Amino acid sequence: MSPASGPAVTFRSRYGASPLHLLLVLCSFALAVYAGIRLLTGNTMGVVIWFVGAALLHDLVLLPFYSVTDRAAQRMLRGSRDPDAGTDRPSVNYLRVPAFVAGVLLLVWWPLILRQGGRYTADTSLSADGFLARWLLVTAALFLISAIVLIVRTWLRLRPQRRRRRDQARARRATK
Q: Give percent of the chain with pLDDT exceeding 90.
A: 26
Mean per-residue pLDDT over the chain, rounded: 83
What pLDDT is recorded for position 2? 53
Model pTM?
Answer: 0.58
Assign 102 a pLDDT band (cuts: 50, 70, 90): very high
Using a 10 angstrom Cβ sphere, with 0-12 exposed, 13-18 middle and 19 or more buried, the burial of residue 113 is buried
| 145 touches 95 (CB < 8 A) | no
How confident is the model at residue 138, as a pLDDT? 97
Tell me the mean pLDDT in the region 146-160.
89
Bigger pLDDT: 24 vs 47: 24
Q: How many angstroms separate the CA atoms of 165 and 160, rounded?
A: 9
Instruction: Give me the pLDDT at residue 73, please.
Output: 82
Positive or negative: CA dihedral 132, 137, 141, 144: positive
Asked if residue 111 lies in contact with residue 159, where contact means CB atoms within 8 angstroms, the answer is: no
- Is pLDDT at 88 greater than 60 in this prediction? no
